[in-house]
Amino acid sequence: MTGSEVPKCVHCGCNVVDFLEFSHLHTTHMERGGDHNRNLALRIVEGRVDLSDIEIACRICNAKLYLEKKFGPTGHTITWNTPLWTLI
Ligand SMILES: [Zn+2]
């Protein structure tokens, strides 16, 4: 991701910033939104985070990833439908 791209979930494409959070790829440690995202963003800018362990995911996909890490495949399929979101 470069500075000019709109952030979005790497799994479903959700681009509602309030729904996005950082996901750790190689750990089961789940840290979510709010202060964690701000603190992690600062650590990324300062070069103190291994970016190979970080991706941007929406909270829905991140929850699925958490369950799959803990229990294995869940059978869930997540689809982002932008037109539905714009109607709300
Ligand atoms: Zn997603």
**pLDDT tens digits along 8-46:** 999 999 988 889 988 877 665 555 555 566 777 777 778
Q: Closest by alpha carbon to 21, among 35, 2, 1? A: 35
Confidence (pTM) = 0.70
- Determine the Cα–Cα distance for residues 58 and 14; give it in Å rounded to an integer: 7
Longest Cα–Cα distance of the chain, Å, equals: 40
Residue 48, token pair as written in the block? 């103190």
CA of 72 to the centre of ligand 1 (A): 18
Q: What confidence tens digit (pLDDT) does each residue in 4-16 have?
A: 678 899 999 998 8
Distance in Å, CA 73 to ligand 1 centroid: 16
Separation of CA 64 and ligand 1 centre (Å): 9
**51, 44 Cβ separation under 8 angstroms:** yes
